[in-house]
Chain A
């Protein structure tokens, strides 16, 4: 079918492009412009060249946020993606009430993040928190901690919460991927003598490689974007132990009123995330045996 006019495709694309321009492109360009200025948000903007970028590279807390963010991503790759995959494997097994389990594991994904953060703050509370109380009840008082107040445990405590939330999300993704595997392949493997474990690791896992790679990329990019969980639970403390990129940028912009510096840190973060995305895309192997979507 040919369009009635050569302008038709452009006109039909115009709404989407307009939204993209105003919601993504203009703010992006604006942020890059701000990154070369000193501005409190309300005073007169002053051009300062690359000073903000120089300052960012010398900022010990900014460098620490990358370390914390990477630790968070590595932990959530295990707690979210790997656990999600394992859960998908379990709930895709034949049996009664697997739908019930799927719904149960997915419920945390649907809860508002702030609610979850407040809830888990109570779980981790030192006095009468659920975790410490449970440890005391079973005689493990020596394991009680100030989970969110101890730099050695705060970050991992938040990672665990993130895993609790998003394992269900990745379970749903992998469950859909596993269901798409042709049953004839699984039956053939069973006929060849493979047990459930061998079928899972030697047939199912390789066949959903594409989806696994997508999930890993989602987890990595999501790790850079996360904010509300950290902000509500610890606000970057104690002593910057849970300071991640987003919480630090928010505090610089809104507490210190240093919008230009915050913009520079955001630009650097964007470049880092883009670089990771490009490198990841290049590293992905073309898989011809996986399930096509």
Chain B
């Protein structure tokens, strides 16, 4: 049998072409990242964030249309990820490390923003925020945690109360109870609910931050905010006797049957759903429950109360656990000016009204003027703005140490370890963390 001499040559040509293609594809992406499309007035910018609910996502979609209509030739790509993925996991870090990082991204002030600044991912926007589009829109306090070395790196967006205790109004009245003001009163409320056959308090602590937030506030109330910050940032031991006392209050929730037995197996969204379906009398979570409730359980009558007062505590008995959020212009963006144009659109009075109606708490001055906003949203905003003291959740202070702090809280709330054991284990681990 004679074979065509062309066949092996064809095979060789295909093999060589395949090799060349694979090699170019592997090497070619970095050159794509360096190309600029900012010729003339055309540009494409991207903004990344975690999802805060369909209503809020819809506002951003409207803003995109407004921006593209106002600036013909410019487009904006909105990247929305599942919230836990964006904030606690893979999302933002991967986006920032990619060859096409977002031009604008959602971030929290304080330690996390400082990390971004150190990485070179946050642009100094001091000059921009002094111009009329931004100046006068915010109280100077809104920029707390967003200014380092007299330079501003973030445009404020919303303020969140990170943890209050939401309660089912109907369940409370059915059991003849009113929102407690003291910790012992809180335990009595739980016992009354349990005796009445209700699930008292539900938490979904699979990712550790929900109960971790409660632990942050408890710690600040018991040992004082300065001591709490020192413990979480490594300037003081985490297993001090005072901190053990604070965690003892968490243990009381478990010991008295106040909290769901599967607290560490349940995710936060599942716990939210359980509360919104009326299967639990109380839920400890932040102000972002409001847009969820408006979307999923409009008929649910829910109220809230702040962390009950703990007698003898060194912290302010009326403190509020809260954070602000904002958007950062990426220092690596080639369209920083265009990015700031979008942010200016975001903070103008019309957009502020849209965000206020969607259930979040904008940080602009008087955000609810002329807005028919939900009563709980306005109450959250007032609570945050009038708080005599604000406590920052641990994961906004030091991510690695916060994980150990939250892990200790999880062990205590689930009845797995005593406060002393849990905090000793946490302190052991934070002691071995690198200091630089």
Contacts and interface: CB of A to CB of B under 8 A. Distances in A.
Given A22-B26, A254-B89, A239 B261 contact: no
Contacts of B265: 124-126, 146-149, 154, 234, 237-238
Interface stretch (A8-16, A71-79, A190-198, A215-223): A8-16
Nearest to A129: B262
Main secondary structure of the interface of A (DSSP, over half): loop
Interface residue range, chain A? 35 or more
Contacts of A15: 15, 18-19, 22
Given A4-B8, A8-B8, A15-B19, A40 B89 contact: no
Contact of A42 (B90, B121, B400, B436): B121
A126 B261 contact: yes
B429 A61 contact: yes
Contacts of A19: 22
A3 interface: yes
Contacts of B403: 251, 255-256
B16 A11 contact: yes
A225 interface: no
B118 interface: yes
Interface stretch (B52-60, B161-169, B365-373, B410-418): B410-418
B81 to A, nearest CB: 13
A235 B417 CA distance: 19
B22 A22 contact: yes
A277 to B, nearest CB: 28
A18 B417 CA distance: 52
A253 B208 CA distance: 18
A185 to B, nearest CB: 40
Contacts of B407: 239-240
Given A14-B16, A43-B120, A149 B208 contact: no
A234 B265 CA distance: 7
Contacts of A234: 206, 265
B399 interface: yes
A206 interface: no
A257 interface: yes
B11 interface: yes
17 contacts: A4-B5, A8-B8, A12-B12, A14-B16, A19-B22, A22-B23, A38-B436, A125-B265, A127-B260, A149-B264, A234-B265, A235-B207, A238-B411, A239-B414, A239-B416, A254-B93, A256-B400
